Amino acid sequence: MPRSGTRLWLTALLFVAIGFILFFAYQYLRAGHIQAAEGRQEYDKGKFDLAEKAYARATEADPDNADAWYWLGISRKNQGESATAADALAKATALSPKRIDWWIEYAEALQWAERFSEAEQAWQKVIALLPPDDPRLQKARDNLALSMGGQGGPNVDRAVNMLEGILAKNDDRRVRFTLAQVLAWAGRLEESKEQYRRALNSPREE
């Protein structure tokens, strides 16, 4: 066979191979989207176990589908599977790092799983992403303190100092309740009781 004919034959074979690769890649991604749509249907029905299975298949078919990872995590979280929910939400936030609501869900899952060191880092990220006038900011700071306190040791003092600094600027009853909880975890029961007493006696927000 002439050299030019061989070159044409190899080029044609290469295009056919690329076509097959693109076709199967498309089918794989399409399967991922179909599974994700099925997962959302099951989730909306409250069937979180079936939603989890569908979203797991979706992430297998399309590992870069951030939405599928997020809903996989939320489906697990709604079943009380905090640790595996956190693992899925970690993937989601890595793929879409600016989604504040996703970071909040991730931080909560870590906290519920008692992975307090990781939760502290996640809450720090939430606080960094939230605008300074966002009403979710104070709750994020409360949870940051709880994540610090949950680690025990010198981290309790870090949490107490942070909360006392907030209270020095604004005597917020919710912050005082958080401080009482951190002190109770540390075994500082008398101080905890005093903070609970002060929180209960402080005026409620209208």
Instruction: Judge whether 123 lies within some domain.
Output: no
Assess whether 170 and 108 both reside in one domain.
Answer: no
Instruction: Judge whether 62 lies within some domain.
Output: yes
Determine the residue type at 67. D
Assess whether 58 and 17 both reside in one domain.
Answer: yes
Instruction: Judge whether 164 lies within some domain.
Output: yes
Assess whether 109 and 135 both reside in one domain.
Answer: no
Listed in sequence order, the residues at least 6 apart from 141 whose beta carbon sits closer than 8 Å to its beta carbon are: 123, 127, 162, 166, 175
Q: Contact, 177 vs 168, CB < 8 A?
A: no
Instruction: Judge whether 120 lies within some domain.
Output: no
- 140 versus 8: the higher-pLDDT residue is 140
Assess whether 65 and 91 both reside in one domain.
Answer: yes
| Residue 5: DSSP 8-state | H
Chain mean position to CA 185:
24
Domain limits at 177? 130-206
Q: What is the CATH number of the domain that holds 172?
A: 1.25.40
How far is the C-alpha of 192 from the C-alpha of 190, rounded, in Å? Answer: 5
Assess whether 106 and 192 both reside in one domain.
Answer: no
Residue range 36-62, pLDDT digits in tens: 777 778 888 999 999 999 999 999 988
Query: How many domains does the chain contain in total?
Result: 2
Instruction: Judge whether 109 lies within some domain.
Output: yes
Assess whether 95 and 138 both reside in one domain.
Answer: no
- What the block records as the tokens of 105 is 């869900």
Residue range 129-178, pLDDT digits in tens: 999 999 999 999 999 999 999 998 899 999 999 999 999 988 899 999 99
Instruction: Judge whether 153 lies within some domain.
Output: yes
